[in-house]
Amino acid sequence: MKKVCVTLCLCLLFLTGCALNSGADTGGASELTGTAVEMATASDEMISAVNDWILGTDYGIEYVDFDGSTFVVSMSAEKKAALGEIEKADIGEALTDLGAAYGYPNCGVLFDDGAAGSTEEAAESTQSNLAEGETVNLIFIHHSVGENWLNDGLCQSLNESNIHVADTYYGWSNMGDHTDTADWPNWFNDDVMPSVYSKLSAETAPNAIDPGAGENTIIMFKSCFPNSEVGDSIDDEIAIYHSLLDYFSRHTDKMFVLVTPPPMQNISNPKKTRELANFLVDKDGWLKDYPDSNVFVFDLYNVLTSPDNHHRLVDGAEQHIVASEQNTLYYDSGGDDHPNTQGNIKATEEFVPLLLYWYSIFAQ
């Protein structure tokens, strides 16, 4: 019954938004021409309508705010916990549709349980600790996409955050050539990883800072774009990723960051690739039953599929948005499947704040 009520109410609000958009036919004061003043008026009217609606529901939503790109649904932690994922998805989809009706397409939706302040403080604490002189050592296991990403600003941005970057590449030891998804169990074991932990030299982008004391703390790993071709089943990939969790659980002094394989321009079954990426990131997916706080996933695949798709930190909260149905590479290099500089810059801007936030969780 709740779902029906939500849908009907928000459909009415959606139609109200369409009426506002059609103000040009009548010359009314609600006409949307795209100017800043009129867009602000539309935003105020939209939020007023939404907040009038929530007073008539029993979800426990206190109010909805809007910053021009993201709806923030505020409610108590208890009420948020009682809200089902299907209900949240329905409300989120309705809000994004409503935003589009008022002239704000591709809006994100965040459910704020009042804990944002604490996560912001944690992230600020991490930044502050690093700024006070702590250098964290990170090693990145990658191939050519990672090389380009590092050289297009990722290494510089990490250094500016007091993170020293070592990496492995083609030709390193007897493992560097092997970074396909199927190869990860051959890396994450007590024979190979001690050499990874101790490697502090860079194979690609030079560092502007010296490494900190001790071993690498953050282990970042990524397969190259051919691994976004998963075929008609992702069962094998899921089994491989699950097999890694035993090793990660035995090394909770290390922080492991999986970067999803980047997309290609042509994938035989891109919806399956999207399904795998979502499974890896979703809190009810790969890490649902993992008890520790030392494994994280950055959805590079999603970030590179569209300018409207994101994996980022917004107001102290992790935000994963799939606003576009494009499931293949948007940021190609003139027909080549390596992401271009624009895509690499976008990825850096979204990844580094997330990494700092994750590190604050790991370091607690």
Three state DSSP letters for the chain: CHHHHHHHHHHHHHHHHHHHHHHHHCCCCCCCCCCHHHHHHHHHHHHHHHHHHHCCCCCCEEEEEECCCEEEEEECHHHHHHCCHHHHHHHHHHHHHHHHHCCCCCCEEEEECCCHHHHHHHHHHHHHHHHCCCCEEEEEECCHHHHHHHHHHHHHHHHHCCEEEEEECCCCCCCCCCCCHHHHHHHCCCCCHHHHHHCCCCCCCCCCCCCCCCCCCEEEEECCHHHHCCCCCCHHHHHHHHHHHHHHHCCCCCEEEEECCCCCCCCCCHHHHHHHHHHHHCCCCCCCCCCCCCEEEECHHHHCCCCCCEEEEECCEEEEECCCCCCCCCCEECCEEEECHHHHHHHHHHHHHHHHHHHHHHCC
Q: 157 and 82 in one domain? A: no
Residue 313 confidence (pLDDT): 94
Residue 71 confidence (pLDDT): 73
Q: 126 and 249 in one domain? A: yes
CATH code (residue 317): 3.40.50.1110
**Number of domains the chain contains:** 2
The answer to whether residue 248 scores a pLDDT higher than 70 is: yes
Q: 127 and 31 in one domain? A: no
Domain of 64 in residue numbering reads as 2-114
Q: 158 and 57 in one domain? A: no
* Average model confidence (pLDDT) across the chain: 82
Q: 299 and 161 in one domain? A: yes
Q: 36 and 140 in one domain? A: no
Q: 319 and 193 in one domain? A: yes
Q: 202 and 269 in one domain? A: yes
124 pLDDT tier (thresholds 50, 70, 90): very low
Q: 313 and 173 in one domain? A: yes
pTM attached to this predicted model? 0.68
Tens-place pLDDT, residues 218-230: 999 999 999 999 9
Cα angle vertex 258, ends 278, 106, to 5°?
40
Last residue in a domain, options 114, 137, 152 = 114
Q: 41 and 125 in one domain? A: no
The answer to whether residue 161 scores a pLDDT higher than 60 is: yes
Last residue in a domain, options 114, 144, 168 = 114
Last residue in a domain, options 68, 84, 114 = 114
pLDDT average, residue stretch 93-100: 73
Q: 150 and 41 in one domain? A: no
Tens-place pLDDT, residues 15-69: 444 443 443 333 333 333 344 445 456 666 777 777 766 766 767 777 677 655 5
Q: 266 and 320 in one domain? A: yes
